[in-house]
Amino acid sequence: MQRIVYLIGFLTFCWTASYSQQEILYKQVDTTSLYLKIFRSVHAEESGKNPAMVFFFGGGWNGGTVDQFEPHARYFSQRGITCFLVDYRVKSRQQTTPFESLKDAKSAIRFIRTHADEFGIDTLRVVAAGGSAGGHLAAATALVEAYEEQSDNLAISCKPNALVLFNPVIDNGPGGYGYERIGEAFTAFSPLHNIRSGAPPTVMFLGTEDRLIPVETVQYYRKVMEQVGSRCEVFLYEGAVHGFFNYRNFDYYRQTLAESDRFLQSIGYLKAEPSVEIK
């Protein structure tokens, strides 16, 4: 049944291909339809394959909307990256747990890689990005081995090649965010507890007055990443609170977007030119 739904989704995609923005069905779970909103790169690389950036919205696995990262997607699509805004199951809409959210995040990346030729993307340059609980999902697709959707083609990797994380939920252990819902499963679910050799290069942004994510947590995360030989940059913003990076806080949005751009340049996913105005 899922294969049929995917085909229908791609027929819709092809029909609307003349537009810079599309929406495509990537997963059907019972009566729940989950979509990707796509912002295609306006610059085609010589290889015909652009980097991809996959965004996961925040909301504590309880709510949220793909619109959160639309300004980021519009910017990076202008810079040369094909961007995807991922819808996933949350408690308020589907009465699901964080574990289903993670399964959907993994399914989305697998779907994008499976159809890389249609999207014109490079499967070796896939960036996962997200804020808060969406930051957890981005990091967990890279680090967490458990919580797979058995209907997925598990031969296709769900692991991104780089991470851009905005005040991410990275510790689900005792004292960390969400432990009351995750419980003892945190050992298999928490990104901090699953860092291993080969973890992708990562950049993280956090406000020093974030009441959900302590500064010490991201600093420790960076330390563990460095211990396994992986790059992890942390940018702290004095006095900023949780969610500071969103578009409505334009100055912080601009600063974190610029640092994200520089990070992606540093790993070879973007070139310095042509530059694009952040707006």
Tens of pLDDT along the chain (279 residues) come to 333 333 333 333 333 333 367 999 999 999 999 999 999 998 877 677 999 999 999 999 999 999 999 999 999 999 999 999 999 999 999 999 999 999 999 999 999 999 999 999 999 999 999 999 999 999 999 999 999 999 999 999 999 999 999 999 999 999 999 999 999 999 999 999 999 999 999 999 999 999 999 999 999 999 999 999 999 999 999 999 999 999 999 999 999 999 999 999 999 999 998 889 998
Q: What is the DSSP letter of 234?
A: E
Report the amino acid identity of residue 82.
T
| CA proximity to 191, closest of 151, 147, 152 | 147
Rounded distance between C-alpha atoms, residue 254 and residue 252, angstroms: 5
Q: What is the pLDDT of residue 53?
A: 98
- What are the counts of helices (DSSP H) followed by strands (DSSP E) for the chain? 10, 8
Amino acid at 44: A
What pLDDT is stored for residue 20 in this prediction?
62
- pTM for the structure as a whole: 0.92
Domains by residue range for the chain, with CATH: 2-266 (3.40.50.1820)
Helical residues (DSSP H) of 16-121, grouped into ranges: 70-79, 91-94, 98-114, 116-119
Residues 6+ apart with CB under 8 A from 182: 98, 172, 189, 190
Residue entry with tokens 């964080």: 98
Task: Tell me how far CA of residue 4 lies from CA of 39, 148, 253, in angstroms.
Answer: 24, 21, 40
- Say which residues have a Cβ less than 8 Å from residue 273's Cβ, sequence separation at least 6: none
- pLDDT at 47 (0 to 100): 75
| pLDDT score recorded for residue 8 | 32
The one-character DSSP state at 241 is -
d(CA 37, CA 146) in angstroms, rounded, equals 26
Beta bridge partners of 203: 164, 233
Which residues have C-beta within 8 Å of that of residue 180, sequence separation ≥ 6?
A: none
Sole residue written with tokens 């080969």:
198
Q: Which of 25, 24, 96, 33 is nearest to 61 (CA)?
A: 96
Decide if 139 contacts 160 (C-beta within 8 A).
no
Are the C-beta atoms of residues 31 and 207 closer than 8 Å to each other?
no
